[in-house]
């Protein structure tokens, strides 16, 4: 009986989480097309040439989504936040998902 309750709870949790996971998945090709402006600071293929700028290649997709949304909502500060806030302000949620999918798909360290 306990297993049945556990299984039902697991299925219900998955059903609730699936729409969230599906909406976070972006289009890699659309992200690649949108990433041209990002290359100025984060480098071609997400590998920054300036040591104070982060590499985006191979970064966790959900982390990129939450980071871009935090910049867009002016919830992140310090460093180059003012520049990132301006860049993120112009992005739709779809753009953010696509950029995150693109950078997450790239090999970290360029390998």
pTM of the model: 0.76
Mean pLDDT of all residues belonging to the chain: 85
Could you count the other beta carbons within 10 Å of the beta carbon of residue 26?
Answer: 25
Residue 67: partners with Cβ closer than 8 Å, 6 or more residues away: 76
pLDDT given at position 4? 58
Torsion of CA 66, 70, 75, 79, to 10 degrees: 100
The CATH number that applies at residue 85 is 1.10.760.10
Which residues constitute the domain of residue 12? 2-110
Quick: pLDDT tens for 43-91.
999 999 999 999 999 999 999 999 999 999 999 998 899 999 999 999 9
Count: domains in the chain? 1
């Amino acid at each position: 009986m306990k297993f049945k309750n556990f299984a039902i709870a697991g299925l219900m949790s998955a059903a609730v989480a699936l729409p969230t996971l599906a909406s976070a998945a972006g289009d890699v090709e659309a992200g690649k097309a949108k990433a041209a402006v990002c290359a100025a600071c984060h480098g071609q293929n997400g590998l920054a040439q300036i040591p104070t700028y982060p590499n985006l290649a191979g970064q966790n997709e959900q982390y990129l989504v939450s980071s871009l949304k935090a910049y867009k909502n002016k919830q992140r500060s310090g460093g180059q936040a003012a520049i990132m806030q301006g860049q993120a302000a112009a992005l739709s949620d779809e753009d953010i998902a696509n950029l995150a999918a693109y950078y997450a798909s790239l090999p970290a360290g360029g390998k």
